C-alpha cells in the first residue's frame, strides 16, 4: 500500500492523536519503532525496524498497524500485537481521542 501526502496535508498530520512507542519482541531484532495516529477518517501507522520503514493506512488503528507490520512476517506481527506494551499504546490512543 502506498500513500502520498502533500504539504497542504502536513497540518492535519500534526494532530495530538499521534503516539510514538518502541517495542522489543523476540521475533524481531532490533526494536520496532511505531508511530500511529488518525488522519481524518483513516489511521496511519509507520513502523521502523533497523533501516527498514513501512507505512500503511487502515480504517482503524489496528488495521493500519497490522498492515505496516506485515513485511516483518506473521510471527513478528503476532508478537508485536500481543506485546504488553500494546495495552499502553491503546490506552494512549483512547486518551488522545477523548481529549479532542
Q: What is the pLDDT of residues 26-68, one digit of tens each?
A: 877 788 999 998 888 899 999 998 888 999 999 988 999 999 9
How many CB atoms sit inside 10 A of residue 25's CB? Answer: 19
What was the pLDDT predicted at 2? Answer: 44
d(CA 57, CA 35): 12
Residue 82 has pLDDT above 80, yes or no: yes
Place of cell 508485536: 80
Sort strands 52-58 and 28-39 into parallel, antiparallel or unpaired: unpaired
The answer to whether 64 and 47 are in contact (CB under 8 A) is: no
Residue 4 has pLDDT above 50, yes or no: no
Residue 9 has pLDDT above 90, yes or no: no
CA distances from 58 to 30, 31, 37, 92, 94 (A): 25, 23, 10, 18, 17
Say whether the peptide bond before residue 50 is cis (omega within 30 degrees of 0): no
The answer to whether 34 and 21 are in contact (CB under 8 A) is: yes
Amino acid at each position: 500500500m502506498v500513500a502520498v501526502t502533500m504539504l497542504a496535508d502536513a497540518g492535519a498530520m500534526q494532530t495530538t492523536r499521534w503516539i510514538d512507542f518502541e517495542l522489543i519482541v523476540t521475533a524481531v531484532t532490533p526494536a520496532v519503532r511505531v508511530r500511529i495516529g488518525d488522519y481524518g477518517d483513516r489511521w496511519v501507522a509507520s513502523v521502523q525496524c533497523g533501516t527498514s520503514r513501512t507505512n500503511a493506512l487502515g480504517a482503524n488503528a489496528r488495521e493500519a498497524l497490522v498492515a505496516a507490520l506485515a513485511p516483518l512476517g506473521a510471527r513478528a506481527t503476532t508478537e508485536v500485537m500481543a506485546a504488553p506494551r500494546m495495552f499502553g499504546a491503546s490506552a494512549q490512543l483512547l486518551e488522545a481521542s477523548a481529549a479532542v
